[in-house]
Structure 1
């Protein structure tokens, strides 16, 4: 058996920070009122994290890069038939990859629509003044109804998949996302997880945060 670094520290921190922020988004949306101030903060944080993860998908550790979990339909069928080589299960499996891409797209749609949404009471997205009323209405409807439901369903499916792998397939997906290493039966190339790569990740995160902040400031200044 081989203990192999699969998830680098930036990927692990991203995963748990995103989980906290998504829970925060759902809770504050249901509370409403002054909690919406925190809803906006969580939304901006999620957008920053998503931009970081997309960037990290090109320059991050071996198993965090998109190229490591973009599979063909044939590979997906092989996986479903139980014919997965070690490279299919070291990082994201073909089904896990679909879950990752779905989560990224749904969250991008949710926070993106939130930027243009307006509750017609006290809170409006920072970019709502830049588009037409019809666009605001569409964004608001998606954000408050359709997108919210899709996100909750996707999170529930994600948790069910973790439970299935834990209790049925006897594979713990949570522990490696804390520790970083997986114990594999076949050696594979580990992810680089050094001080230099972590500094690179920090720089990317700060750059993404700066971009989101500038976007918000642009929307606020354009609304007057």
Structure 2
């Protein structure tokens, strides 16, 4: 029953802002390459700027994943092969336990998404369309390497779409099982029908100072790329 559901503050405000800002930047990035880019006058430039923002966001996420709040840390939700296999087997039998943070499969999906996004954004720095855009690092590794990265950049965009699709399927599966992840990423509160097995201590206010430092580093990286003298 609804009254029996347990509530737990899981996602801090920094994780939530990261998530929704990243989603917006990824949507803009795909929109400017998969469509005609209207109403943008130079869609490729907007595409590149979205990539710079993604790099800044990823820098923040890595720093926050190392020393951020409990449920934001990679050490909280990255599990070994054995634990992941046990969870997958339990999930197939509809007996999977609840996790406050990401479950083992969800944790690895986060890692794959971050790695794919990192490669996509970083490889774009070495590319050029020879007309409107030249990445800040174009030519650093030579034209042959840049050409190879361009092919991988296009290929990885399809891989990224597949990963995003899998992520959405996971959200739907959790919703069907009564765990609504989208509202949790808005409010930061997760609701459970049973006690999650990975409860961590409450967030500490000292993390806010570290979050500010991580934010400034991320802004510095993004700003350098955005205003790089081509």
TM-score clears 0.5: yes
Counterpart position of 2:159: 150
Counterpart position of 2:31: 27
Q: Which has the higher helix share?
A: 1
- SS of corresponding position for 1:116: coil
Counterpart position of 1:50: 58
1:7-30 per-residue CA deviation (whole Å, 9 max, x = no partner) reads 111001101110110001000122
CA distance in 1, matches of 2:204, 2:191: 17
CA distance in 2, matches of 1:26, 1:122: 18
* Displacement of 1:155: 1.1
CA distance in 2, matches of 1:49, 1:80: 30
- SS of corresponding position for 2:72: coil
The two structures have a TM-score, normalised by structure 2, of 0.85
- SS of corresponding position for 1:63: helix
2:185 is the alignment partner of 1:177: yes
Q: Which runs of no fewer than 5 residues in structure 1 stay unpaired?
A: none
Q: Which runs of no fewer than 5 residues in structure 2 stay unpaired?
A: none
2:9 is the alignment partner of 1:5: yes
Residues 173-182 or 47-56, more deviating: 173-182
**Any conservation in 2 of the 1:70–1:97 contact (CA below 8 Å)?**
yes
2:224 is the alignment partner of 1:214: yes
The two structures have a TM-score, normalised by structure 1, of 0.88
CA distance in 1, matches of 2:136, 2:73: 32
Residues 119-128 or 199-208, more deviating: 199-208
1:27-77 per-residue CA deviation (whole Å, 9 max, x = no partner) reads 012235611121111100000000100000011111110110121111112
Residues 208-217 or 173-182, more deviating: 208-217
Counterpart position of 1:105: 115
Counterpart position of 2:48: 40
Give RMSD over aligned pairs: 2.0
- SS of corresponding position for 2:8: strand
Counterpart position of 1:159: 168
CA distance in 1, matches of 2:14, 2:86: 31
Aligned residues: 215
CA distance in 2, matches of 1:115, 1:13: 25
